């Protein structure tokens, strides 16, 4: 049997069925090489609108466009055979209503090959989620801190403390009942995340929430330490690649300026007259 036939691609329904089972593993990816490194390990790979900040230097996710998501979605898809690819719907591509959301979600899936889309919002997005799911588009919801709403939330603050808890609980139930196959809980208190995980029938994916969630997701560049000055409380750095890359760049620059690079082993010698050249 060929390797391709042996590899079963993970679907949104497979993720839904993992509720209460082994924890679901996810990271963001924006490029083909990184997606390839994740494919054997991650259950789903998120093409996050965080790409705007991570790769394009935008101050927030609000400036991310459909074209950017399509471009990076296509790149990630080339690196995946097994993991489910979930792609973010960017700000302004779904909030107007179900019809707008369907058109843009269909485009993302058609042009990238994504197996599901993710959108932000709870109670107010339940109708849209239901509309998409009924028309064959798997939806991952995202509640708690929703980065596309930072201007109304007042910044990147913990959501769900004190009287806000009931609002987040209502959001979780609304998206689950609307048909979302999973829901991201971002930056909510641990006790609240555990309560929601116990109460709803779909998997919860934590980011700054609780180890008790059904799964976890992190922004790849954060956990690899690519940005030394940026380290949210909820991020564990599994590597420190930013300083390593900076040191390597400086070493390269030093060798270029001293003319020690390229050395003899990095250049092509002149061929003898009449000899075959490289």
Binding site residues for 3-methyl-2-oxobutanoate, as ranges?
Answer: 49-50, 88, 118
Per DSSP, the three-state class of 94 is coil
DSSP H helical segments within the chain, as ranges? 3-6, 12-16, 32-38, 51-54, 66-77, 98-112, 126-134, 150-153, 165-178, 190-199, 220-223, 241-257
Which residues are paired to 222 by β-bridges? none
- Dihedral of the alpha carbons of 178, 179, 184, 186, in degrees to the nearest 10: 0
Give Rg (Cα) of the chain: 22
245, 221 in Cβ contact below 8 A? Answer: no
Q: What are phi and psi of 274, to 5 degrees?
A: 85, -10
SS (H, E, C) 213-254: CCEEEECHHHHCCCCCCCCCCCCCCCCCHHHHHHHHHHHHHH
Question: Of 11, 55, 9, nearest to 31 (Cα)?
Answer: 55
Q: Of 13, 166, 186, 199, which residue is the catalytic one?
A: 186
Residues making up the annotated binding site for Mg(2+) are 49, 88, 120
Q: Is 246 a catalytic residue?
A: no
Residues making up the annotated binding site are 49-50, 88, 118, 120
Match 């994740």 to its residue by tokens: 38
**Catalytically annotated residues:** 186
């Amino acid at each position: 049997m060929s390797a391709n036939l042996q590899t079963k691609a993970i679907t949104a329904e497979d993720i839904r069925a993992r509720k209460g089972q082994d924890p679901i593993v996810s990271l963001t990816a924006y490029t083909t090489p990184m997606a390839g490194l994740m494919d054997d390990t991650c259950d789903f790979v998120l093409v996050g609108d965080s790409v705007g900040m991570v790769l394009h230097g935008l101050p927030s996710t609000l400036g991310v466009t459909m074209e950017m998501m399509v471009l990076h979605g296509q790149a990630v898809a080339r690196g995946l055979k097994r993991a489910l690819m979930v792609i973010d719907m960017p700000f302004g591509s779904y909030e107007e209503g179900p019809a707008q959301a369907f058109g843009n979600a269909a485009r993302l899936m058609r042009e990238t090959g994504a197996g599901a889309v993710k959108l932000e919002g709870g109670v107010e997005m339940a109708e849209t989620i239901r509309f998409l799911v009924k028309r064959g588009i798997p939806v991952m919801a995202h509640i708690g801190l929703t980065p596309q709403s930072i201007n109304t939330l007042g910044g990147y603050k913990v959501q769900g403390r004190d009287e806000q808890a009931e609002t987040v609980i209502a959001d979780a139930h609304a998206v689950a009942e609307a048909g979302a196959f999973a829901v991201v809980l971002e930056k909510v208190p641990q006790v609240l995340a555990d309560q929601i995980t116990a109460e709803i029938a779909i998997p919860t994916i934590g980011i700054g929430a609780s180890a008790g969630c059904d799964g976890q997701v992190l922004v790849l560049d954060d956990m690899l330490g690519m940005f030394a000055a940026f380290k949210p409380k909820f991020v564990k750095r599994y590597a420190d690649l930013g300083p390593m890359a900076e040191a390597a760049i400086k070493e390269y620059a030093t060798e270029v300026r001293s003319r020690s690079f390229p050395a003899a082993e990095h250049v092509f010698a002149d061929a003898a007259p009449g000899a075959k050249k490289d």
